[in-house]
Amino acid sequence: MNPRKKGAHELACLRTAPNGLADFDECYGLDNLRDYVAYMTAAPEVNGVLETIPSLVDSCKIGVSLGHSAATHDVARQAHRNGAKMITHLFNAMTCFHHRDPGIVGLLGAAEKEHCFNVDTGGLTTDTYTPQVARSFYGLICDGIHVHPNTVKIAYNSHPAGAILVTDAMGAMGLPDGEYKLGNMSVDVGLQKGMAGCPRAAVIQGTHTLAGSIVTLIECVRNFMEYTQCPLVEALEAASLHPAQMLGIADRKGTLKYGADADIIILTDSLQVESVFVRGELATPETVGR
C-alpha cells in the first residue's frame, strides 16, 4: 500500500516489493497465496508491485485489486493491462478524480479496446495491436458515509456490470456503540459529531479517520437501490453474481443455476434477511461453524 493512502492500516506493516515475487514469498509464502488467498489489494505505484502483477495472477492464481493508492491514471491502466481486474472500495483511499489525470477512478471510463490519436487523420482510431481487456470491477461501500449517494450513482451509470457491493466492515458490525480494537488500534463506534451529518460510524480513536464500516451487506443492497434507482435484480447481482465473476467462480457461486453450490439467502419483500442456506443446509446457531 501507499503510506499516503493507508487509511486505517498500520504504517509499520506496510512494505515494498523491490525483488518482485520473492518479496511476496517472503511476506506471505507463495503456497499460502495459492492455497488460501482469492485476491489481494495492492498499490501499483509501490516499488515492485506493477511488474509483479502478472506473476501473482498467472503463477499464484489470485486476483489483484488496485487500492490504497496514489497511482496516476497511466500507472493504473498499465496495472489493469498487467492483470489487475478489480478496484478496492472505489473513491476511498485513492487519489481523487481529476479531469486531467483521473487516477484509478478513471478506469471506470476505460474502453475495452485501446484507442490512440491518429496524427494524420486528426481522429481517434482503435489500436488493433492491443488485445481487448475486460473493464474493471469495482467495490463500493454503500453505507452513506464512505461514498456520497450521488457518487455511487455516477459509478453505477458509468459501468453497471462492474459494481460490487462491499461492507469493509470491522468487528463492531451489529454491535452497540463503544470502544473496539482493529489490530493494535483502538476504534470508537458511535455518533461522530465532528463529521458531516453526525453519522454513526467507526473511527480511529482520537481522529476522524474511518476504520472500516459497521454496515451489513443487505443494508448496502437497500442503499444501492435507493441511491441509483436500479432494478432489484441489479442490486442483488452486485452482491452476488458480480463478485463471483470477478473471482472466476460464477460457475458455482452467485447463481442459482443447476450444479452450483446451494448458497441461498431468502429475503422478505422489504429486503430483510429471513433465512440463509449454505450448500443447501439451513444456517442455524447449531450448524454455523461446524
Q: Residues of the chain with pLDDT > 70: what percent?
A: 92
Residues annotated catalytic, as ranges = 168
Query: How high is the pLDDT of residue 198?
Result: 85
Cα distance from N-terminal residue to C-terminal residue, the chain: 35
Q: How far is CA 21 from the centre of its chain?
A: 23
Are the C-beta atoms of 102 and 73 separated by less than 8 Å? yes
> Dmax over Cα atoms in the chain, in whole Å?
71
How confident is the model over 5-51, as pLDDT tens digits? Answer: 999 999 999 999 999 999 999 999 999 999 999 999 999 999 999 99
Q: Which residues contact 236 (CB under 8 A, 6 or more apart)?
A: 221
Which grid cell is 95?
487519489
> If pLDDT is split at 50, 70 and 90, which confidence band does 116 have?
low
Query: What is the pLDDT at residue 71?
Result: 98
pLDDT at residue 123 tops 70:
no
pLDDT at res. 129 = 44
How do beta strands 137-141 and 163-166 pair?
Answer: parallel
Average pLDDT over residues 155-162: 97
Cα–Cα distance for residue pair 96/51, rounded to 1 Å: 24
Instruction: Indicate the pLDDT class of residue 223, thresholds 50, 70 and 90.
Output: very high
CA 273 to chain centre: 23
Q: How confident is the model at residue 127 (pLDDT cuts 50, 70, 90)?
A: low
Predicted confidence band of residue 75 (pLDDT cuts 50, 70, 90): very high
Count of CB atoms situated within 10 Å of the CB of 183? 11
Instruction: Give the model confidence (pLDDT) of 93-110 as tens digits.
Output: 999 999 999 999 999 998
Q: Which of 49-58, 130-139, 196-205 has the lowest mean pLDDT?
A: 130-139
Higher confidence at residue 197 or residue 104?
104
pLDDT at 193: 85
Residue 154 near residue 234, CB atoms below 8 Å = no
pLDDT at 81 over 50: yes
pLDDT value at position 128?
47
pLDDT at 122: 56
- CA–CA distances in Å: residue 154 to residues 32, 99, 140, 149, 197: 38, 15, 12, 9, 22
Kindly give, in sequence order, each residue whose CB lies less than 8 Å from that of residue 54, ignoring residues fewer than 6 positions away: 82, 83
DSSP string, 149-182: HHHHHHHHHH-GGGEEEE--B-TTTTS-SEEEEE
For 252-278, what is the mean pLDDT? Answer: 96
